[in-house]
Amino acid sequence: MKYCNLCGSTVRFEIPAGDNRPRHICNECGEIHYLNPKVVAGCLPVYEDKILLCKRSIEPRVGYWTLPAGFMENGESTRQAAARETLEEANARVSDLQLYTLTSIVPVSQIQLIYLAQLDDLNFSAGDETTDVQLFSEETIPWDELAFQTIRNALRFYFEDRQKGVFPLHHVDLHTPPGQFVEKS
Amino acid sequence: MKYCNLCGSTVRFEIPAGDNRPRHICNECGEIHYLNPKVVAGCLPVYEDKILLCKRSIEPRVGYWTLPAGFMENGESTRQAAARETLEEANARVSDLQLYTLTSIVPVSQIQLIYLAQLDDLNFSAGDETTDVQLFSEETIPWDELAFQTIRNALRFYFEDRQKGVFPLHHVDLHTPPGQFVEKS
Ligand SMILES: [Zn+2]
Ligand SMILES: [Zn+2]
């Protein structure tokens, strides 16, 4: 950030009075500009014994498989954001959303919320940012072609929990750069 | 937002190609500026049968009681944010943080996370944004002097759950303006 988005003047980077960390402060109007973590919301859509995954058409990780998820917008709830992303990326409708993973990805200042959800029907298709959408059983999940560590975690949690029949919230903090490249299984 | 914070030029407000809602787009460098919800994290600190509350020294709701909470910063996890706010506002140390309420406050584009936590010791005192810090039992909670609806909800959930001995996640979406003024009990 180099300029104030309210008045267009230059900003300086220093600790405001009464604060304890540096901020971008406008040299003209004095506005303090805060930078805050962004929230990513998505779904783990279940249909019978299968999970819906999307093949990414955009960077990062183009061509790899992921759960439908994306940045939350102003003016919606976390559940609405998760369902909206599922509709946009997979043209898929979901119900019974239950918070399943909450991951702080500290190095990139993101929080990712994944909701366990029931896929309503089989009328899904590739949508925004997606070239293919498919249902995968535990045996066919493309573990070596998953886009992100958080997605791999959510799927692992799910198949473990399914054996026990309970799906508690998984609360994970990632403090080291997770990389976008999952290890080979 | 009137100016691009990267180059200082004016921005227009329109739907970018491939998007479905209007954004602030720089007329000079083309940067698309997204606005996203902010995350508030805090604690419900428990000591024996009592809860720690802070009396606010700042607007909104100066003079009313609240749980220690505040905006999450870049470069920290949600749990670290909750513990940091508790330290800053109440000079209090907490342990065993467990996610207890997740509230989407849709009209103001905020998500609030409150962690149930054990207060480590009685060495607390008024810190930033606070004029007083006290422990309250269920009988002495100042229900008519609580700052926010979300705080009132968290305390109500807690005293109800305590009778059952289980403290599940409470996931609440507030779609109508909650107001900052709780009704009288
Ligand atoms: Zn300014
Ligand atoms: Zn620009």
- Is the CB of residue A131 less than 8 Å away from at least one CB of chain B? no
Give me ligand 2 centre to Cα B10, in Å. 7
Give domain status of residue A105, yes or no: yes
Nearest residue to A55 via CA among A129, A117, A112: A129
Residue-level pLDDT at A182: 37
Residue-level pLDDT at A172: 97
How many interchain CB pairs under 8 A, A with B? 119
CB contact under 8 A, A36 and B10: no
Q: Which helix (H) or strand (E) holds A82?
A: helix A78-90
Average pLDDT, chain B: 94
Give domain status of residue B166, yes or no: yes
Give domain status of residue A180, yes or no: no
CB contact under 8 A, A4 and B3: yes
Same-domain check for residues A116 and A103: yes
- Is the CB of residue B17 less than 8 Å away from at least one CB of chain A? no
Give domain status of residue A148, yes or no: yes
Instruction: Determine the structural domain holding residue A156 and report its residue range.
Output: 38-174
Q: Number of folded domains in chain B?
A: 2
Give me ligand 1 centre to Cα A28, in Å. 5
Residue-level pLDDT at A176: 80
Beta strand pairing call for B110-119 and B38-47: parallel
CB contact under 8 A, A7 and B10: no
Residue-level pLDDT at A184: 34
Residue-level pLDDT at A163: 98
Give domain status of residue B161, yes or no: yes
Note which residues in 45-74 of chain A have CB less than 8 A from chain B. Answer: 71-74
The domain that contains A148 carries what CATH number? 3.90.79.10
- Residues of chain A short of pLDDT 70, as ranges, are 178-185
Give domain status of residue B184, yes or no: no
Same-domain check for residues A106 and A25: no
Say which residue the tokens 């930033």 belong to: B128
Same-domain check for residues B29 and B94: no
Same-domain check for residues A70 and A159: yes
In this complex, the residue of A1, A2, A37 whose CB is nearest that of residue B39 is A37
Residue-level pLDDT at B3: 97
Nearest residue to B37 via CA among B148, B181, B173, B155: B173
What ligand has the least distance to the C-alpha of B27? 2
In this complex, the residue of B6, B35, B78 whose CB is nearest that of residue A104 is B78
Residue-level pLDDT at A178: 60
Same-domain check for residues A30 and A85: no
B84-105 average pLDDT score:
98
Same-domain check for residues A25 and A72: no
The domain that contains A4 carries what CATH number? 2.20.70.10
Q: Is A119 within 8 Å of A86 (Cβ atoms)?
A: no
The shortest C-alpha distance from A153 to chain B (Å) reads 17
Measured CA to CA, the distance from residue A73 to residue A38 in angstroms comes to 10
Q: Provide, as residue numbers in chain B, all residues whose Cβ is less than 8 Å from the Cβ of A24.
A: 5
Note which residues in 162-181 of chain A have CB less than 8 A from chain B. Answer: 169, 171, 173, 175
Same-domain check for residues B73 and B132: yes
Give me ligand 1 centre to Cα A4, in Å. 5
Residue range B113-149, pLDDT digits in tens: 999 999 999 999 999 999 999 999 999 999 999 999 9
Same-domain check for residues A64 and A30: no
Measured CA to CA, the distance from residue B101 to residue B168 in angstroms comes to 9
Same-domain check for residues B26 and B45: no
Give domain status of residue A185, yes or no: no
Give me ligand 2 centre to Cα B9, in Å. 5
Q: Dihedral, CA atoms, A67, A73, A79, A84, nearest 10 degrees?
A: -60
Residue range B19-37, pLDDT digits in tens: 999 999 999 999 999 999 9
Same-domain check for residues A28 and A63: no
Residue-level pLDDT at B178: 60
Same-domain check for residues A126 and A152: yes
CB contact under 8 A, A74 and B37: yes
- Taking CA atoms, B48 is separated from A21, A122, B122, in Å, by 34, 52, 11
In this complex, the residue of B3, B18, B78 whose CB is nearest that of residue A111 is B78
For residue B177, pLDDT beyond 80: no
Give domain status of residue A12, yes or no: yes
Same-domain check for residues A75 and A110: yes
Give me ligand 2 centre to Cα A26, in Å. 17
Q: Is B102 within 8 Å of B37 (Cβ atoms)?
A: no
Residue-level pLDDT at B176: 80
